[in-house]
């Protein structure tokens, strides 16, 4: 089998299930039924090179063997920073399971979806008492477990364009990190929903600028980078192009619940299945992976998401610095 000498990936999203207990307006993943799920021990095949891992779904806490999955991931990738993305609705399950997860990985992070305040969040997620459940989960993580790496994850879509600044300010008040995305479409993720572009009205532009200005006014360079990322989302939501080239399929991959590896959660060319190869290195350097890489380089989707943007930013520090210097005192 032909193999290409290419560096191993540093970042990954691992969807451990497509089962979901939400009914989000911007995602139909919950409609996927009877999709195979990898056994925990299969995650030992992950490459040791990974530095950032997002355990996602569906809803990861629907897997009763989530602690075993985390244990295998930590064994395979001992230096990786791991975050679990959740809608936060399974409050009692989270209260029971999360302490065990933290014993496995004391630095574990959690990202809890929040798409607006109160009824606005419930309208997007279409789940009764969604807001109350999210608040309970955040309070448990912060006040009971004293977790330091707690984030909310806001997804901008046509229903919550008036909630962006409110969600950001609420996160600041609660002392949790704020992350965001713009609703994207995908054949392999999000249930093939349509891209939501041209969401930026003057009112939305004002909210973006508020957040960018707040981040740039910080004394922490990490927040300046977050401002750069947020401005990229503003461009995408305006129907524009992202600010940096993606290195999906080179620095990053997406692993679905049955073991198929994709360049990203958007690009739908399979690089290989984790069971087809003796190890992950063989998969990553296989002719199938080379073909997938070449295809997305020629016909790459226009997306800007934390999972792939992070590696693009790492590769372009001078461009990011130039943007910061240009905008820090003008936005």
**For residue 75, what pLDDT is reported?**
97
Q: Residue 252's beta-bridge partner residues?
A: 11, 248
Mind listing the pLDDT tens digit for each residue in 145-193? 999 999 999 999 999 999 999 999 999 999 999 999 998 877 777 655 4
| pLDDT above 90 as % of the chain | 81
pLDDT value at 119 more than 70: yes
Sheet holding 109-113, edge to edge: 177-182, 150-156, 109-113, 81-86, 52-56, 11-15, 252-255, 260-262, 272-273
Lowest model confidence (mean pLDDT) among 39-53, 62-76, 251-265, 289-303: 289-303
The CA distance from 200 to 161, in Å, is 8
**For residue 140, what pLDDT is reported?**
98
pLDDT band at 5 (very low <50, low <70, confident <90, very high): low
Per the CB < 8 A criterion, the answer to whether 259 and 275 are in contact is yes
**Diameter of the chain by CA atoms?**
55
Mind listing the pLDDT tens digit for each residue in 197-241? 567 788 999 999 999 999 999 999 999 999 999 999 999 888 889
| Vertex 48: Cα angle to 273 and 258 (nearest 5) | 25
Mean pLDDT value of segment 19-43: 92
The first and second tokens of residue 301, run together, are 């989707």
Mean pLDDT, the chain, as a whole number?
92
Mean pLDDT value of segment 22-50: 93
pLDDT band at 331 (very low <50, low <70, confident <90, very high): low
**For residue 10, what pLDDT is reported?**
97
Neighbouring C-alpha atoms within 13 Å toward the C-beta of 262: 20
Class of domain 11-327: alpha beta
Mind listing the pLDDT tens digit for each residue in 221-231? 999 999 999 99
Decide: helix, strand or coil at residue 185.
coil
**For residue 110, what pLDDT is reported?**
98
Mind listing the pLDDT tens digit for each residue in 263-285? 999 998 999 999 999 999 999 99
**For residue 3, what pLDDT is reported?**
46
**For residue 1, what pLDDT is reported?**
42
Mean pLDDT value of segment 77-100: 98
**For residue 186, what pLDDT is reported?**
77
Better-predicted residue by pLDDT, 130 or 198: 130
Closest residue by Cα to residue 55 from 81, 21, 29, 89: 81
Residue 156, Ramachandran bin (φ over 0: left; ψ between -120 and 50: alpha; else beta): beta
Decide: helix, strand or coil at residue 261.
strand
């Amino acid at each position: 089998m032909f193999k290409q000498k290419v560096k191993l990936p540093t970042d990954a999203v691992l969807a451990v299930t497509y089962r979901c207990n939400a009914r989000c307006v911007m995602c139909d993943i919950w409609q996927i039924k009877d999709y195979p799920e990898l056994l925990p021990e299969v995650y030992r095949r992950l490459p040791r090179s990974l530095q950032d891992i997002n355990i996602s779904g569906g809803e990861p806490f629907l897997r009763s063997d989530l602690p075993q999955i985390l244990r295998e991931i930590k064994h395979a990738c001992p230096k990786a920073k791991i975050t679990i993305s959740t809608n936060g609705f399974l409050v009692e399950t989270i209260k029971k399971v999360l302490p065990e997860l933290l014993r496995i990985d004391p630095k574990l992070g959690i990202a809890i979806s929040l798409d607006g305040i109160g009824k606005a969040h419930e309208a997007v997620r279409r789940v009764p008492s969604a807001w109350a459940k999210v608040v309970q989960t955040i309070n448990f993580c912060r006040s009971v477990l004293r977790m330091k790496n707690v984030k909310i994850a806001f997804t901008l879509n046509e229903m919550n364009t008036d909630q962006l600044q409110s969600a950001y300010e609420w996160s600041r008040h609660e002392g949790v990190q704020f992350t965001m995305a713009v609703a994207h479409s995908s054949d392999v993720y999000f249930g093939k929903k349509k891209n939501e572009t041209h969401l930026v009205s003057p009112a939305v532009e004002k909210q973006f600028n508020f957040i960018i200005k707040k981040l740039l006014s910080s004394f922490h360079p990490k927040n300046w980078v977050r401002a750069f990322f947020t401005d990229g989302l503003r461009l995408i939501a305006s129907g524009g192009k992202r600010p940096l080239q993606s290195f999906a399929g080179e620095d990053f991959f997406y692993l679905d619940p049955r073991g198929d590896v994709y360049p990203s959660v958007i690009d739908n060319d399979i690089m290989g299945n984790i069971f087809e190869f003796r190890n992950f290195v063989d998969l990553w350097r296989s002719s199938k992976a080379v073909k997938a890489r070449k295809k997305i380089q020629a016909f790459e989707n226009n997306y800007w998401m934390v999972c792939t943007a992070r590696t693009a930013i790492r590769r372009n520090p001078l461009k990011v610095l130039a943007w910061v210097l240009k905008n820090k005192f003008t936005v």
